[in-house]
Amino acid sequence: MNKLYDQAKQVLDNAYVKYSHFHVAAALKLKNGEVITGVNVENASFGLTNCAERTALFTAYTKGYKKEDIEEILITTKQEDFISPCGACRQVMRELMPDDAKVHLANKQGEIKTVLNKDLLPFAFTEDDL
């Protein structure tokens, strides 16, 4: 898990946070050991902002990886407290990651809390609802 934290911290300053100044980075670990990172990218039209979690996941899918290839994700910020994914990210994570994938929340000090993907959004809208 330290490797994931280190890789997320390495890209944290790459976040484009011109408006909120709230840096977020994610490191997505695949079952083959590859790590894909992402940062939040803001937009003056705030609804068009993309979070770090989605950036990492969309990059993984762009590279041809699928849900079953994902093992875990770590999310970190420059904050003292633990920050969890927003509602939009929770929905996307539930769709694109296995339910039992570990989601690590890391604070500025490198302390980590871990939950399962399915526990972040227990009543997610899924393909079973269609």
Please tell me whether the overall predicted TM-score, pTM, comes out greater than 0.75 for this model.
yes
Which CATH number is associated with domain 2-129?
3.40.140.10
Mean pLDDT per segment of 10 residues, for the chain of length 130 residues?
93 97 98 98 94 98 98 97 95 97 96 97 90
Strands 35-39 and 102-106: unpaired
What is the crossing angle of helices 87-96 and 52-62, to 10°? 30
Token readout for 44 is 């003056």
Q: In terms of Cα–Cα distance, which of 93, 20, 2 is closest to 55?
A: 93
Show which residues are catalytic. 53
